[in-house]
Chain A
């Protein structure tokens, strides 16, 4: 059974596009047929993050307006078998597409693909309404900051209003050392406030800039901690349980090491 997941956040710049690219690739690497769809019409970026910008001929608006067939617009990733990108139009705006057209497009994609991931633009207007129109569930990306969490809370309400099931949360840019010193909201703090199930924590890392520079998302690098975090998110989305969180494993502090050594193992959370 195929599924459409919208990746959203409310606030811009928290890592929606990077999350879409990495989760899409990770799902494809585990053998799924995946389409990633850029719904940010007018400000497309998913093609750049994936390093597929030079191969765009047709886009989402061409498909919706019947100027080309869906198959012609889909760009096949040559690095990973099974990943396809449907790019957004760059010269149009969000009103070029209606929620009904998006619903039909997603339904058509679900006939061919196991997963359809929609990269939602920032904001709560037309772009958001288009993105959630065909979705079966939502993934909310946030960072441990007051502004991002406030917007995430607003988006959770809008996702519920759109009659989607309870969304799942990805916490991005997590710095364990700052959490330990009390200068960053912890996973527990964030979950206490947002009260939705957690599906992943992605550690903050400078390497993400290098991946973006090269158009080579982190999951393509087997050594990358960020990549591993996204691989685990993909596994949890496919229903696997009891996978520990990478961000909580990295560079344990002195007392954590002592506690582990004394037999108080690191807590393992279950994503529901």
Chain B
């Protein structure tokens, strides 16, 4: 609503939203203490393991660090296209 009003009255986008986004990102990374490159490597490795069991869509896969109160959580969304034969085979055995 405010954004619409701002646009209507010709002001720029709310710069505080940038501030908030940057802050959230900073605080997570201060706490986790991993470089962006290390995070990318971690994502690739997780995905590699998941792919051994499930047929997933890497393009749609999301890994994100989120702050929940005073804890950091790794939140991921990995869309599965179909369960691979190997998984079916393993669950049949179990």
Question: Given B11, B14, B22, which contacts A146 in the complex, CB threshold below 8 Å?
Answer: B22
Rounded to whole angstroms, the CA-CA distance of A146 and B26 in the bound complex is 9
Asked if B60 is an interface residue, CB under 8 A from chain A, the answer is: no
Contact segment of A22-30, A125-133, A185-193: A185-193
Asked if A114 is an interface residue, CB under 8 A from chain B, the answer is: no
- Using a CB–CB cutoff of 8 Å, the interface residues on chain A facing chain B are 145-146, 149-150, 153-154, 179, 181-186, 189, 193, 195
Question: Given A150, A182, A195, which contacts B17 in the complex, CB threshold below 8 Å?
Answer: A182
A-B contact pairs, 16 of them (CB 8 A): A145-B19, A149-B23, A150-B27, A150-B30, A153-B30, A181-B14, A182-B6, A182-B16, A183-B15, A184-B16, A185-B23, A189-B19, A189-B20, A193-B20, A193-B23, A193-B27
Contact string, B1-28, partner A, CB cutoff 8 A, digits 1/0?
Answer: 0110010000101111101101110110
Residues of B within 8 A of A179 (CB): 16
Residue pair B20, A185 in contact (C-beta under 8 Å): yes
Question: Given B11, B13, B19, B26, which contacts A185 in the complex, CB threshold below 8 Å?
Answer: B19
Residues of A within 8 A of B27 (CB): 150, 153, 193
Q: Please give the number of chain B residues whose Cβ is less than 8 angstroms from any Cβ of chain A in the complex.
A: 19
Rounded to whole angstroms, the CA-CA distance of A184 and B15 in the bound complex is 7
Given contacts A146-B26, A153-B30, A154-B30, contact A183 B14 (CB under 8 A): yes
Residues of B within 8 A of A189 (CB): 16, 19-20
Residue pair A183, B16 in contact (C-beta under 8 Å): yes
Q: How far is the CB of B15 from chain A (nearest CB, A)?
A: 5
Q: How far is the CB of B14 from chain A (nearest CB, A)?
A: 3
Residues of A within 8 A of B11 (CB): 181-182
Query: Which residue, B11, B17, B23, B26, has most C-beta atoms of chain A within 10 A?
Result: B23
Residue pair B24, A193 in contact (C-beta under 8 Å): yes
Residues of B within 8 A of A145 (CB): 19
Sample of 14 further A-B pairs with CB below 8 A, known A146-B19, A153-B30 = A145-B19, A149-B23, A150-B23, A150-B26, A181-B6, A182-B2, A182-B13, A182-B14, A182-B17, A184-B16, A186-B16, A189-B16, A189-B19, A193-B20
Asked if B77 is an interface residue, CB under 8 A from chain A, the answer is: no
Q: How far is the CB of A99 from chain B (nearest CB, A)?
A: 25
Q: How far is the CB of A193 from chain B (nearest CB, A)?
A: 6
Q: How far is the CB of B84 from chain A (nearest CB, A)?
A: 42
Residue pair B15, A182 in contact (C-beta under 8 Å): yes
Given contacts A146-B26, A150-B23, A150-B30, contact A185 B16 (CB under 8 A): yes
Residues of A within 8 A of B20 (CB): 185, 189, 193
Residues of B within 8 A of A195 (CB): 69-70
